[in-house]
Structure formats: C-alpha cells, structure tokens
Structure 1
Amino acid sequence: MSGEAGTGQAGTGQAGTGQFGGLVAVVTGGASGIGAAITARLRAGGARVAVLDRAVEGAEADLALSADITDDEAVRAAIARVVDELGGIDIVVNNAGIGAQGTIEDNPDVEWTRVLDVNVLGLVRVSRAALPALRRSAHAAIVNTCSIAATAGLPQRALYSASKGAVLALTRAMAADHLAEGIRVNAVNPGTADTPWVGRLLDSAPDPAAERAALEARQPHGRLVSAAEVAEAVAYLADPRNGSTTGTSIAVDGGMHELRLRPRN
C-alpha cells in the first residue's frame, strides 16, 4: 500500500469553519465520480478528508491513500495512518463499489464472490477498522452509498442488486448496533447517476445515445442524477446537526422508487 499526504493539519479540531469544521472524514472510492464529489462537498463544509482508493492520482484531498478494500490488512493500515496524520476520524463514507450486469444465469460464482467482496465486505472492513476512532468522536457518522437497485427491481442487475440490498440491510443493522455508542449510520440511494461507470456502460452499448435516452426516461425527472446531488445527500446524513437521523436512507433518484407518472407526450 502506498499513500500521498496532502496539506491537512494533524489533529481533529484544527480544520476550518463550516458545518464540518474540525471534523475528519474518510471517503472510499473518493478519487473519482460520486466519491470525488462527496470529498469536495465535505471539504467545502470545513472537513479534512482522507481518500482511500485503489488509484489516487488526481485525488483532491487532505490525505490520499492507495488501498484495496478487499485487503483487510491494507485497510487497517490506511485507517491507522488517517488517525495518525489527521488526528482521528469522525465521518466514514463507504462509497467504493463496483458494478455488475446480467441475470442470475450470466455471472459465475467467482464474479458473485468478487462483487460481494467489494460492495459488502469492503464496507465491513473499512467500518470495522474505523470503529475505535469513531467511538472517540462526539459527532460520529457512517454513510453508505447504496443504490436504487436495493429497492427496485431492475433488469440485468441481479448481482449488483443483491450486493446493494445487502448494503441497505447492513446499514440498518449497523445503526441498531452502534447507536448507543453515539455512531449514526445511514445510506444514500442514488438512481442512475452520470458517473464514469455509467459512461462506460453507455459506450459499450450498440446505440449509446439511445441507451442514454432510455436511462434518462426511466427516472421520472427525465435525466441522470448528478454526482453533486448525491454528495449533498451524503452531507446531510453526515452533518452533526442532524443527530436524530439514523438507520435510514435517502433516495436521490428523481422519484424513480416512489413515483408512478404518466408517460410523457
């Protein structure tokens, strides 16, 4: 594991002002896409942010550490370095994840194991390693990036949906387990977002423009979700001012899960 330290001062409580002033956050998968937007939003709110990602080149953070969340030893070493260099951990955003396509027939056991290892066990490893530091925080929060796939049946997403369904259930269980310790646990459920992964899916489609139009049309507000919109929901869930919000999820999906609108003319 390798890492690049940024310019953050050591010691919780020495950051700038704002809703997250004085707090330290860890964002997995924070070097690009939704993770980068979350990192930027937390930093804009005054937090010092450590990014954990497999490739940290270009990451704009106070501390950027290369770590594979499928490797428990690497995760523990990275979390220990965050605590050592930034003085503690107040917020963990479990954002890192990978996608998968197909029905239950289309992916072999090895792919099921790989996706669940990243999307579910990766969250477990990071949260588990951070718990001792979170228990010392007066404003501890964990936010898990889940998905509309956890609450709505989507075609060709069996494996991905299973992994995100587990994340949603795990979020509630973690909230129940750690509330008495002062640790809030919540999730954000994005709809189809305009991210590099979705961009690669579109590029691989026979007709990328038609596929994009179809993805936009299935969300009631008629467009893809932006990474910045997801980041705002994460900021709400992590905000110490929202101390009564725990064990829940916020859908950022243009109404896809709850609304049933008439087709547009």
Structure 2
Amino acid sequence: MTELRPAKLTGKSALITGAGSGIGEAMARLFAAEGARVAVVDLDRAAAERVAGEIDSGGGDAVALASDVSRAADCQAMVERTVERFGALDILCNNAGVGVAAVCHETSEEDWDLVLGVCLKGVFLGSKFAIPHMLVHGGGVICNTSSAAAEAAVANRAAYCAAKAGVLGLTKSIAIDYASRGIRCNALLPGTVDSPWIGKIIAQQSDPVAQRALMEARQPLGRLGRPEEIARAALYLCSDDASFVTGTGLVVDGGFLAR
C-alpha cells in the first residue's frame, strides 16, 4: 500500500505576482495543490480571475487580485487584501516581470523605467509591504524570480539584465537583514522557459519554427524549460525542505550557465 505524501504547504498562505500566466500561474496551481491558500496577482485582472477560479473549482482556496507591482499603493493593497482574506501572509513570490528588446544606448528612459519598475522595484515594494506582516507572525519566506540573465547577459536586453541582476542583490540583502527574525529570502534564476512571453517572441520572428529550434539547440538539455519545472523549484524554496536555505540564487536553466 502506497502512503500518501503530506502536502508541503498545508496551512500556509501565499501571494504570487505575475500569476495570470506562465511561471506564476504554474506556481499558483502547484502551491494550491500542496495545500496553500493563494492570492493570484496579475496586472491582467481577467487572467488572475481565470487562474483563481480554476483553483477554487479544483477544491483549492484562491483569491484574484489585480495589481501594478511598480506602484506602491497597489503593492500595499495586494498585501493587505491577502492578509484580510487569509489572516496571514506566509509566502511571497515576487514573480511579475516584463522585458524590452534594446541595447543600452537605444533603450528609452520610459522603457528603462518600465522594466526596472516591474522587475526590480516590484520586488522591493512587494517585500517592503509583506515583511512587516511576516514579522508579526514570526517569519515567512520570500522567493524572487530573477533570471539566468543575471549571471550571463542576454544580447539586446540591457534593462532586463540590469533588473534581474538587481533582484539577486536585493534578495541577498533581505536574507541577511531578516535571517535572525525568521524570514528566508531566495531567488530563482530560470533559463529560457516555454512561456507565453517566449512564445510571443518566437511568433514575431520571420521563421518561428527555425527560431524555436535555435533556442532549443542552445540548451544543453536540448529543449526549453516548462513553467511547471520552475514552479517545483519555487515550491522547494518556499517549503520546509529548504529550511536552511537563504540568500541564494537557485539556477533552473537546463544547464545553460554550465556551458
């Protein structure tokens, strides 16, 4: 007789940004399946409501929230609404992101502010408003989505590379400052993942089939990652399995950085 494995996040509440699609959606679904109550946050309210509704229909407990993570008022509101709904905030996944294709001197100030605002400022603001609630309850876990591009720059993505490197630095700072107070903070560094964002980039090329084949050929494992694979890494970092892990960046890139 096979024994059922206990759910890893039973009794926990989690807030996940960028959870209307891709990696964030996979995180929300997996965390709910592992027993967490989940705040599904996305700039696209309809996308957040779809994911939250499907989690609820499957027997989970989720709430959909619309938020622009580059705005302090939005971040404060999403945290407060999560705490009001679930009574606490145990896990924060700062996952929302955006990218703009441009080299440094061709990046407009507006595009720089957009990318840094979502990818880096959003991590700062989410953490800023979540940490006080975590401290009241004796601790918590923060998982920030950085990128393999924080370690090995991607051509034509100046703002994105800068933002994701900044996420890694902020992650380490938070880990050091709050370790003695029960908060762990780590970063995920995904490689190229077969997400809606990457799918859109591929579709914009003159030969999408050739572009996908090229992307896959660059990966030592010979394929793109799947959102669910990144979500499983996030689950590890946010669960008690990683109770002695803080201040690190977990690379989940199919071997790309090892080349």
The TM-score normalised by the length of structure 2 is 0.91
Q: Percent same amino acid among aligned pairs?
A: 39
Taking the aligned partners of 1:153 and 1:123, their CA distance within structure 2 comes to 20
Match of residue 7 from structure 1: none
Taking the aligned partners of 1:136 and 1:23, their CA distance within structure 2 comes to 15
Counterpart residue identity of residue 240, structure 1? D
Mapping of residues 43-192 of structure 1, within 5 Å? 43-57=32-46, 58-60=50-52, 61=55, 62-138=62-138, 140-192=140-192
Taking the aligned partners of 1:218 and 1:174, their CA distance within structure 2 comes to 33
Q: 1:139·1:240 contact (CA, 8 Å) conserved in 2?
A: no
Taking the aligned partners of 2:43 and 2:190, their CA distance within structure 1 comes to 22
Counterpart residue identity of residue 179, structure 1? A
Greater helix percent: which structure? 2
After superposition, give the CA deviation of every residue in 1:98-138 in whole Å (9 maximum; x if it has no partner): 01212112211121111101110111111111111111335
Q: 1:168·1:187 contact (CA, 8 Å) conserved in 2?
A: yes
User: Runs ≥4 in structure 1, deviation > 2 angstroms?
Assistant: 136-139
Helix, strand or coil at the partner of 2:172: helix
The TM-score normalised by the length of structure 1 is 0.89
Where structure 2 has 5 or more consecutive residues not aligned to the other structure, the ranges are: 1-5, 56-61
Match of residue 33 from structure 1: 22
The alpha-carbon deviation at position 139 of structure 1 amounts to 5.4
The alpha-carbon deviation at position 66 of structure 1 amounts to 0.9
Taking the aligned partners of 1:246 and 1:83, their CA distance within structure 2 comes to 24
Counterpart residue identity of residue 51, structure 2? A
Helix, strand or coil at the partner of 1:97: coil
Helix, strand or coil at the partner of 1:51: strand
Count of matched residue pairs: 243
Taking the aligned partners of 2:170 and 2:180, their CA distance within structure 1 comes to 17
Q: 2:139·2:181 contact (CA, 8 Å) conserved in 1?
A: no
After superposition, give the CA deviation of every residue in 1:24-60 in whole Å (9 maximum; x if it has no partner): 0000011111100000111111100001111132122
2:12 maps to 1:20 = no
- RMSD, aligned CA: 1.2
Q: 1:70·1:118 contact (CA, 8 Å) conserved in 2?
A: yes
Mapping of residues 211-230 of structure 1, within 5 Å? 211-230=211-230
Match of residue 3 from structure 2: none
The alpha-carbon deviation at position 153 of structure 1 amounts to 2.3
Taking the aligned partners of 1:112 and 1:212, their CA distance within structure 2 comes to 27
Where structure 1 has 5 or more consecutive residues not aligned to the other structure, the ranges are: 1-16, 261-265
Match of residue 263 from structure 1: none
Q: 2:138·2:181 contact (CA, 8 Å) conserved in 1?
A: no
